[in-house]
Structure 1
């Protein structure tokens, strides 16, 4: 059994980890931590756990000492010290925050206004996009779990970029997310009277996921990729829809695109390339670890339109983190993650 601990269990991604791990046959959850709720049972914060999991929230130190596999679901700037402890004590560490996603400290300084305090650790980090970096993840001890928007976008573009089918290196990306993507902290935008019956873009050209998106797409393309990334807030709890616009090379046919996507993804359990004419819809990925991708062709301008949908709390956070853990421990990758989205 894998002895697992969760630091930051009181947040949305942390409690989603707990919900999913309770169904994992190879996991024993030995400790959960929530600094603001230390000494309180998780079932008082989230009554859905009442009678199922009444574990008491302990200190972060307790979690670190008791567990061999540590998940940290914390705001940026807080995870390095926990990763250092795990590194020094031969424990595995998966960070659901932003501290181990960016390769360059300069990008972290620019977009998050912080420095790396444990610089040597960042030479060991692996970006945990499972379907792309599986071989590296197998050998990793520190994982930077991808952001939710980057997951939907990079999986949507991966086959196309690897095969060099894009005409230019600038993409327009229009993404919409449910309100859980903003986390549990209160804000004006996610206050119910403000977001209900509303729909609007936010952080236009300034969202912190931008450098992560460009970093990973550039690796896939072996060239510098630039994006105009515009996120929007949907008045729903969870789900992401990313619509991506790509100019195709003149000699590329739509049938070539369809074949390549099926070649890359037909053996990937969690990625579903939809039949031509179908449109990916967040309703059918909610509460699941699936990424649904639909491909559309604008023949007037020889442009590909990619729609990629995920549940931001599962494939975009807790589910992908567990998928990473499964790969790290060389167990069935789908363990604990085979749930199907409700149909209505």
Structure 2
């Protein structure tokens, strides 16, 4: 099979080429740095499948072009699939597969890194001491021990995070549209409604998929319910948070700090070096101006272990499709 990869970086090529050349797979892989869009879908001509990441656009127009060129598979090398029009893919007879779990520990640990840095002002202290300023003014944090964490979604990443936070001695409240009471009893956590979670949590971390129901779930109304000074973490999808509402919450000190590994309009910036350009996104620029906000470039997954797992699962998905066998990681419209 010939597979055309979009939105690739050097580390993608290294991890996929290492596995693809070991004799197990042997696919014909073509890499493109550009993100998949309707304007460059033509690059997939002659391919059996395409492999895409979080900032590629597989909307109805793109999928129609892929189908017309004979593409039969969209292989996501990530867990989320909100950038794929599943209905259009089904209508065009294109299969969609994903990597549901590559390293939940990697993302969970990154969320904790953001939390600790924000709480203890590590990022501010780092720049101060480099400049010879060893004052403690403005660096006051709080004990995590005894505080309440609110976890939205209790999938693999969330459960890894909950284990870490329980180790800190935090009380954990959780919300999930499909609560697992058996897990809750084993983990020593409590499922509650979203409104109660917002009211009681000192730290809120988002780990739910982006759907029409969860888009902008963090908005001016829900922020108004939160405990003043709450720390908000998002390592899921950018559009779970309405950024302008977040900025207003920060200005009003309703939100004490925000750790964001994702941003709702990240496609034009994340994974690229834009340091030599003037930032055209005024909302992102405003967000970056707060000293109680940490933004990282969607790097929560970025560990050696995760990259290897992503490559292996993606290539396994493609091999299963080529063999006509069952697709364990298929994503179907309406499923």
- Asked if these proteins are the same fold (TM beyond 0.5), I'd say no
**Larger proportion of strand:** 1
Question: TM-score normalized by structure 1?
Answer: 0.34
Question: TM-score normalized by structure 2?
Answer: 0.35
The structure with more radius of gyration: 2
